[in-house]
Amino acid sequence: MSGTYRIAQPVDLSCDVLVVGSGAGGAAVAATLTRAGLDVLMVEEGPYVPAERAPAQLTTAFRRLWRGGGLTAALGAPPVAYAEGRCVGGTTEINSAIFQQTPPEVLQAWARQYGIADFGPEALRPYYARAAQAVHASPPSEPVGAATERLRAGGEALGWRVTALERGHRNCVGTNMCAHGCPTGGKQSMSATLIPAALAKGLRLIAECRVERLVFRRRRVATVLGSARDGHGMRHPVRIRPRQVFLCAGAIHTPALLRAHGWRRNIGTALRLHPTIKAAAIFPDTIDAHAFAVPQVAITEFMPDVRLGGSLFSPSTFGMFLAEDWGTRAALMPAWRNAGLYYAMVRGQGRGSVRPLPGRGTEPLVRYRLAPVDWQGLALGLERVGQALFAAGATRVVPSIGGHPGWNDPARCDEFSAGGLPVGRSNLMTIHLAGSAPPGEVEALCATDSFGRLRGLENLIVADASQIPEAPGVNPQATVMALAFRAAEAYLAQPERARRQRALAEIDRR
Ligand SMILES: Cc1cc2nc3c(=O)[nH]c(=O)nc-3n(C[C@H](O)[C@H](O)[C@H](O)COP(=O)(O)OP(=O)(O)OC[C@H]3O[C@@H](n4cnc5c(N)ncnc54)[C@H](O)[C@@H]3O)c2cc1C
């Protein structure tokens, strides 16, 4: 991408707006502000990996594109493994691009509870529309593959609501490599959509540049300090003097960075997520789940609190699932062409925290504790996903519980309905993080005002998943983008910005 550049020596830069982080939030902000004629500089900790260099192996993708090589966890009993991208385009480069809006009643409840101005299904409609257009949100391309069809058939056989999932894709050929950084560019991630659009409008983007320190003067961020890697792996100091900062480092790193600088009020205190438990299904026939994109339907009968769906499948992801308990599950590996991976996900009511790791600068220490109702939801969800898979013809369903031999009979799926899941043996994960810097006017709950402006600082706006007040119960990228478009527009609407924008438009016209 032209406009991306590497630093080869120490640099001292200035800009109208600095955007920290290039994921769903950062890209939406950069596209909006460059279109308005502002001088925008974006810095991204991770590398730029073009589609043609997308790693063929998932393990290489973990190293190149995933934070922490894919090994990140919220500590707790049990720990919850979480995942984030760390590359140009952020987590959108490794996600499945499922596009969903937060249900209207959930948005309305947040507007009331947090006192968020201009918020709710009507107020967000134009921003969701812009997000949908940016990523070309559209129905799945056919054929969707047997892993999808089985989930649909199982849900429908039980009379449950099954919903097709829209995805952000264009000419997706179903390489099933969404987690590798899409090798064809069919997935409409930020590096395929809004980032090139912003670069065409003058965005400067420095990849492999990590922000490490903010320097404040008179209630403003005066200087941002970081370091960037050159083509030989050498790091050089980067000093940036922005007029305005948009912090879009994601639901973990935004609060970690702010807290490391003493900004604590409602920051990193109520991390929300979707606790998720997986289950593998073995079918009597070959389904070749690896040959198609991620399952493109979800069982939505039990939403908003519990959703059942399918996970990315490849021999390696199946191998990782088995390796959680190789002693019990190894014998299933030869059946990988007959297998699919599915999940039950709950809209977590528990809370977590993000703190800077003592002595490690802005590196985060993440904790999470499930609420009792989350455990009930997971037990119910696991039971229902097992029943659906048997109804679809599975002969064996193996829940992600250490030492569990798997079920051969649907009648066994309610095993945990009375006593709950075994806490110490349940392997939980999440790919959806939120709530670590919520917006709104109820100061006792919120970190920023209704439009992401951090209270107490004049020139810092948060625009990423940390602004989604709570776990939405659906895939969050669309909401991250909608809120980021909205925050960027609110910033542009400030009187002095509007005047400058008009002047720039006038110059364009001449
Ligand atoms: C495997 C997986 C699958 C998913 N599937 C879906 C899906 O199908 N649909 C959906 O809606 N959501 C999905 N999600 C979630 C979705 O991708 C995220 O909610 C969304 O991308 C979050 O956007 P963000 O802008 O908050 O953060 P990110 O997209 O994570 O971007 C933050 C960026 O900031 C950078 N950064 C952090 N700290 C610094 C620093 N100090 N200096 C410079 N840069 C920094 C990071 O490297 C990162 O690139 C998935 C997530 C995962 C992990």
Instruction: Give tens-digit pLDDT for 420-444.
Output: 999 999 999 999 999 999 999 999 9
Query: How many domains does the chain fold into?
Result: 2
As a whole number of angstroms, the longest Cα–Cα distance in the chain is 74
Backbone angles phi, psi at 445, to 5 degrees: -110, -25
User: Within this chain, do residues 444 and 484 fall inside the same structural domain, yes or no?
Assistant: yes
Question: Where does the pLDDT of residue 504 fall: very low under 50, low under 70, confident under 90, or very high at 90 and above?
Answer: low
281-325 pLDDT, tens digit per residue, is 999 999 999 999 899 999 999 999 999 999 999 999 999 999 999
Instruction: Answer whether residue 392 is part of any domain.
Output: yes
Spatial distance between the Cα atoms of 258 and 265, rounded to a whole number of angstroms: 10
> Tokens at residue 404, please?
């569990």
| More confident call, 390 vs 292 | 390
Q: Which pLDDT belongs to residue 138?
A: 96
- The residue from 180, 253, 404, 432 that is catalytic is 432
Spatial distance between the Cα atoms of 247 and 502, rounded to a whole number of angstroms: 25
Nearest CA to ligand 1 atom 18: 477
Nearest CA to ligand 1 atom 31: 23
User: Within this chain, do residues 122 and 145 fall inside the same structural domain, yes or no?
Assistant: no
> Tokens at residue 190, please?
């930020």
| 158 residue type, one letter | L
In 3D space, the residue among 428, 403, 407 whose CA is nearest the CA of residue 328 turns out to be 403
Q: Give the residue, out of 32, 91, 261, 460, with the most ligand 1 atoms within 8 A of its beta carbon, to mutate for a pocket test.
A: 91
**Taking 60 as the threshold, does the pLDDT of residue 461 lie above it?**
yes
User: Within this chain, do residues 213 and 260 fall inside the same structural domain, yes or no?
Assistant: yes
What contacts 24+ positions apart, CB below 8 Å, involve 285-289? 285/338, 286/337, 286/338, 287/145, 287/146, 287/147, 287/150, 287/337, 287/338, 287/339, 287/340, 288/145, 288/146, 288/337, 289/145, 289/146, 289/147, 289/313, 289/339, 289/340, 289/341
User: Within this chain, do residues 415 and 328 fall inside the same structural domain, yes or no?
Assistant: yes
**Taking 90 as the threshold, does the pLDDT of residue 494 lie above it?**
no
User: Within this chain, do residues 110 and 204 fall inside the same structural domain, yes or no?
Assistant: yes
User: Within this chain, do residues 303 and 393 fall inside the same structural domain, yes or no?
Assistant: yes
β-strand partners of 80: 74, 428
Instruction: Answer whether residue 92 is part of any domain.
Output: no
Q: Confirm whether 404 is a catalytic residue.
A: no
**Taking 80 as the threshold, does the pLDDT of residue 509 lie above it?**
no
Q: Which pLDDT belongs to residue 31?
A: 98
**Taking 90 as the threshold, does the pLDDT of residue 490 lie above it?**
yes
Helix (H/G/I), strand (E/B), else coil: 11? strand
**Taking 60 as the threshold, does the pLDDT of residue 3 lie above it?**
no
Average pLDDT over residues 28-44: 97
Q: In ligand 1, which atom is closest to the CA atom of 25?
A: 25
Q: In ligand 1, which atom is closest to the CA atom of 294?
A: 8
54-91 pLDDT, tens digit per residue, is 999 999 999 999 999 999 999 999 999 999 999 999 99
Check pocket membership of 353 for ligand 1, CB cut-off 6 A. no
Question: What pTM was estimated for this model as a whole?
Answer: 0.96
User: Within this chain, do residues 212 and 117 fall inside the same structural domain, yes or no?
Assistant: yes
Nearest CA to ligand 1 atom 46: 86
Instruction: Answer whether residue 483 is part of any domain.
Output: yes
User: Within this chain, do residues 382 and 501 fall inside the same structural domain, yes or no?
Assistant: no
Nearest CA to ligand 1 atom 37: 249
Check pocket membership of 95 for ligand 1, CB cut-off 6 A. yes
**Boundary residue ending a domain (414, 430, 446):** 430
Q: Give the residue, out of 180, 320, 345, 431, with the most ligand 1 atoms within 8 A of its beta carbon, to mutate for a pocket test.
A: 431
Residues 6+ apart with CB under 8 A from 229: 6, 7, 208, 209, 235, 236
**Boundary residue ending a domain (430, 457, 474):** 430
User: Within this chain, do residues 341 and 362 fall inside the same structural domain, yes or no?
Assistant: yes
Check pocket membership of 24 for ligand 1, CB cut-off 6 A. yes
Q: What is the CATH number of the domain that holds 261?
A: 3.50.50.60
User: Within this chain, do residues 469 and 509 fall inside the same structural domain, yes or no?
Assistant: yes
Instruction: Answer whether residue 459 is part of any domain.
Output: yes
The answer to whether 180 and 56 have CB atoms below 8 angstroms apart is: yes
- For residue 343, the enclosing domain spans 56-86+139-166+173-181+275-430
Check pocket membership of 452 for ligand 1, CB cut-off 6 A. no
**Taking 70 as the threshold, does the pLDDT of residue 373 lie above it?**
yes
Q: Give the residue, out of 95, 178, 366, 461, with the most ligand 1 atoms within 8 A of its beta carbon, to mutate for a pocket test.
A: 95
| CA 492 to ligand 1 centroid distance, Å | 24
Q: Which pLDDT belongs to residue 257?
A: 98
Spatial distance between the Cα atoms of 75 and 368, rounded to a whole number of angstroms: 6
Check pocket membership of 482 for ligand 1, CB cut-off 6 A. no
Q: Which pLDDT belongs to residue 265?
A: 96
Instruction: Answer whether residue 91 is part of any domain.
Output: no
Instruction: Answer whether residue 495 is part of any domain.
Output: yes
Q: What is the CATH number of the domain that holds 352?
A: 3.30.560
Question: Where does the pLDDT of residue 505 fall: very low under 50, low under 70, confident under 90, or very high at 90 and above?
Answer: low
Instruction: Answer whether residue 201 is part of any domain.
Output: yes
User: Within this chain, do residues 349 and 264 fall inside the same structural domain, yes or no?
Assistant: no
Residues 6+ apart with CB under 8 A from 405: 328, 398
| CA 23 to ligand 1 centroid distance, Å | 5
User: Within this chain, do residues 143 and 132 fall inside the same structural domain, yes or no?
Assistant: no
**Boundary residue ending a domain (413, 430, 447):** 430
Average pLDDT over residues 182-199: 96
β-strand partners of 227: 210, 237
Question: Where does the pLDDT of residue 174 fall: very low under 50, low under 70, confident under 90, or very high at 90 and above?
Answer: confident
User: Quick one: what percent of the chain has pLDDT higher than 70?
Assistant: 96
Spatial distance between the Cα atoms of 374 and 349, rounded to a whole number of angstroms: 6
Average pLDDT over residues 406-428: 95
**Taking 90 as the threshold, does the pLDDT of residue 7 lie above it?**
no
In 3D space, the residue among 371, 335, 366, 304 whose CA is nearest the CA of residue 100 turns out to be 304
Q: Which pLDDT belongs to residue 293?
A: 87
Instruction: Answer whether residue 257 is part of any domain.
Output: yes
Residue 93 DSSP label: G
